[in-house]
Amino acid sequence: MYDGPVLDNHLHLDPVNGRGVEAAEAFADAGGTHLNVLNKPSWHLVGEVDGEEGFREAFDITVEVTREADAILRGRAWPVLGVHPALVSQLIDRGYTPEEAAGVMKRGIDVAAAYVAEGPALAIKSGRPHYEVDDAVWDASNEVMRHSFARAAEVGCAVQLHTENAEDLTEVAEWAEAEGLPRERVVKHYADGYLEGPIPSVIADRDELERACEGDWPFLVETDFIDDPERPGAVLGPRTVPKRTRWLAEQGHDDALRRAHVETPSRVYGVDTEATLE
């Protein structure tokens, strides 16, 4: 059976409010080897953010806890940094116009891009609201997302997207290409097993994972563990990806697991999950 790397592509570690590196230890104990650690929304980590210093403070918290996780894994942990798309609503509630909110969020994307260019971040996080908003907010959010594509193209990294649930985001992939970013470097976080356009990062649901494994397209696997003590295990616990990987291996999906944990990470992020195992 498959005995290679095991990557959770989207997980949060919150040393301020949650378990922090202890969640990474649980992942490792279950057989996980690699993590992409996303910063939680800035308002959960540092409160209100209006500019670059606030974003840096939030990013540094994630960089440090990722460094701690990296030290305990057989493989590697990488930070993926950026701006949660729901920040647009937070800012508008505080009196910003949609255009002004987009400006703040673009500055956050610029800071994240600098963390990629200078190290230690692997990729950028962006997207648009998954809930209903008016046209002005929607347009501003799409502008921020396109800005993330442009900056990712400049620094040579991928973008993880938080968006509405969909199985066809071809237009978004085309926007990325228009900004100079190949569509294979655009990842839809919390995706179903199949997606047109970006690369799906499939939530570790048995049915959706089987759907992804039965196809021939590239995909990643994630829990979206949010590390919130008031919601333990939400969305899925940190042990889930290793457990689902073993289950899929028992079903004979070794080739698909290699696609998810070795080939697609190389294709999207330029990382070698095999070479980075101890």
Q: Would you say residue 65 has pLDDT above 90? A: yes
Cβ-based neighbour number of residue 276 at 10 Å: 17
Give the integer Cα–Cα distance in Å for 96 and 81: 23
Q: How many residues are given for the chain? A: 278
Quick check: helix, strand or coil at residue 9? strand
Q: Which residue has the tokens 């590196």?
A: 21
220: which 2 tokens? Answer: 């990643």
166 CB contacts (<8 Å, ≥6 apart)?
Answer: 188, 195
pLDDT digits (tens, 9 = 90+) for 185-243: 999 999 999 999 999 999 999 999 999 999 999 999 999 999 998 887 789 999 999 99
**Can you give the pLDDT at residue 63?**
98
Give the integer Cα–Cα distance in Å for 46 and 78: 21
pLDDT digits (tens, 9 = 90+) for 203-212: 999 999 999 9
Give the integer Cα–Cα distance in Å for 194 and 243: 21
Give the integer Cα–Cα distance in Å for 237 and 109: 28
244: which 2 tokens? Answer: 């689902």
Give the integer Cα–Cα distance in Å for 184 and 1: 28
**Can you give the pLDDT at residue 100?**
98
Average pLDDT across the chain, whole number: 97
Give the integer Cα–Cα distance in Å for 278 and 274: 9
Give the N- to C-terminal CA distance of the chain in Å, as an integer.
Answer: 20
Give the predicted TM-score (pTM) of the model: 0.97
pLDDT digits (tens, 9 = 90+) for 97-144: 999 999 999 999 999 999 999 999 999 999 999 999 999 999 999 999
Q: Which residue has the tokens 């800012």?
A: 91
**Can you give the pLDDT at residue 238?**
97
Give the integer Cα–Cα distance in Å for 109 and 103: 10
**Can you give the pLDDT at residue 278?**
81
**Can you give the pLDDT at residue 271?**
98
Give all domains of the chain, ordered by start, each with its CATH number: 7-269 (3.20.20.140)
Q: How far is CA 18 from CA 130, 230, 274, in A?
A: 24, 9, 30
Q: Is the peptide bond before 120 cis (omega within 30 degrees of 0)?
A: yes
Give the max Cα distance, the chain.
Answer: 56
Buried (b) or exposed (e) across 208-235, using 16+ Cβ within 10 A?
Answer: bbebbbeeeebbbbbbbbbbbeeeeeeb
